[in-house]
Structure 1
Amino acid sequence: MRAAGNDRQAAGSVAMRDARRWKPHILSGAPPAVVSAERPGWTPIAPVVTLPLQPVRLDVGRFHYAIETCMPRSAPSRAHGASSKGGKPHAIRIIGGDWKRTPLPVLDLDGLRPTPDRVRETLFNWLGQRLDGQRCLDLFAGSGALGFEAASRGAARVLMVERNARAAGQLRANQERLAARTIEIAEADGLRLAASLAPGSFDVVFLDPPFGDDLLDKALALAVPLVSAEGFLYVEAGAALELAGNETLAGWDIIRHGKAGAVHFHLLQRENKE
């Protein structure tokens, strides 16, 4: 019996010795290592890599970031005022009126920046939602977002002016799609056409010229005489309009002003003399 006990003790010593030899990191806390066989009569096919048995903590935030940075990204959305040169169509949506929720294709062209839904909704809230019987001029029509919205809300006449042939062609296609009889589309230079129009012939004039072309002052000078006595002038610009020292807008009030991103939008009306 004593011999058997000695055998068990010897076997235990061998096992502990082998554990220290083969898995020193488990007992000592050292990192895993590549080890080779030393026991006689046993030849490994390949080096043995021992793995730590300590629990592994996963940094979820870094893991998520690593996945996110490896995933392909879609192209960033363009801010209001930017455009690509692809010429591919996308769409705007009419917000209210007879054609509410109707999508209209728009070409993606340089400088073409449709007035955002939120801005249009605010503007037509200012104007009282309906424009029944009103005469409207969209002098730099572009996508037609403002002109089509006005026609949808009952305007008696909407003249859209656009000098870009492709953009004007898309306006005509959308007009035909809606069977919009109150809309007229002129493929022309906005400033030249405005100079030929009769004074006081519009109740609402929309001015949204390209920001980088320095057209706003010229457009204002030509548009102001076209507005009827109690009419409205709507202006989008890259900076807030200043009435002080502005001779063109003498006698006008900015009755509403908003800002969306880099765009300032204003609604003006002549001062009430009463």
Structure 2
Amino acid sequence: MATRRTQPRNNKARKSGEKSSTLRIIGGLWRSRRLTFSAAEGLRPTTDRVRETLFNWIAPVLPGANCLDLFAGSGALGLEALSREASSATFIDQSPIATQSLKNNLQLLKAQNATVLNTDAVKWLSTAAPEASYHIVFVDPPFRCGLVQQCIDYLQEDSILCKGAYIYIEIEKEAARPSTPEHWHLHREKEAGQVRYMLFICED
């Protein structure tokens, strides 16, 4: 995921002082591939441990799925999904640094089934009219910003989620479980370190 960041005024200065980090894809076509991404301030990629658990949970529905990675940041979740035979992935992040790194890595992987949007995820959801509904949505926003509930409210729109869609939500451990629609069934829930993560199924 990614937090709100300010783009440096001088691109040349940003490049000279920019730090990078690496991301390892755990399974699938690109298994064990390591990708470099710009370590922009506030970036908190989902850990390998949590990703491995999550993708074990969604393995039966992942092949052929249309995925939406909100607050994508490094793209860890969407890239893992594509590696494991998802049909497509839409990555959304408001940081130009994060989205440029994502585009570079998708080009490196020769991925043709991905879309990267440099925009505010909540605002995008409020006006979204996707050509096809999503089977899997990853919601991993900055902690302590109240963004999870806003995303849930917009995701209830019929045009965004397929019937039977899986919605993954990652929040800080101490936070209360967000309020979800009655037709969202809590399928799995777990904690790791300071993170609490949940998987819901939209049953209607």
1:235-271 CA distances to partner (integer Å, 9 max, x unpaired)? 000145536xx3x422212110111111101000134
The residue aligned with 1:170 is 101
- Alpha-carbon separation, structure 2, partners of 1:241 and 1:104: 34
Structure 1 match to 2:8: none
Residue type matched to 1:242 in 2?
Answer: R
Q: 2:20·2:39 contact (CA, 8 Å) conserved in 1?
A: yes
For the Cα contact (< 8 Å) 1:224–1:233, is it kept in 2?
A: no
For structure 2, which runs of at least 5 residues remain unmatched after alignment?
4-16
Match of 1:111 among 23, 42, 54: 42
In the alignment, what sits opposite 1:270?
Answer: 202
Provide the TM-score with structure 1 as the length reference.
Answer: 0.63
What percent identity do the matched residue pairs reach? 38
Separation of aligned partners in 1, 2:126 and 2:150: 11
Counterpart pick for 1:231 among 153, 162, 165: 165
Query: What residue in structure 2 maps to residue 256 of structure 1?
Result: 188
Structure 1 partner of 2:148: 216
AA of the residue aligned to 1:124: F
Q: Which has the higher helix share?
A: 1
Partner of 2:177: 242
User: For 1:154, what is the secondary structure of its paired residue?
Assistant: coil
The structure richer in strand per residue is: 2
Aligned match of 1:156 = 87
Residue 119 of structure 2 is aligned with which of 179, 183, 188?
188
Q: Distance in 2 between matches of 1:213 and 1:94?
A: 28
Offset of 1:126 from its aligned partner? 0.3
Contact 1:234–1:266 under 8 Å retained in 2: yes
From 116, 139, 153, the equivalent of 1:207 is 139
| 4+ residue segments displaced more than 4 Å | none
Structure 2 length-normalised TM: 0.84
Q: 5+ unaligned residues in a row in structure 1: which ranges?
A: 1-80
How far did 1:224 drift? Answer: 3.4
Counterpart amino acid of 2:117? A
- Which one scores higher on RCO, CA 8 angstroms, separation ≥ 6? 2
Residue 60 (structure 2) pairs with residue 125 (structure 1): no
Deviation at 1:212, TM superposition (A): 3.1
> Are the equivalent residues in 2 in contact too, given 1:136–1:203 (CA < 8 A)?
yes
Aligned length: 185
Of structures 1 and 2, the larger Rg is shown by: 1
* 1:4-19 to 2 correspondences below 5 Å: none
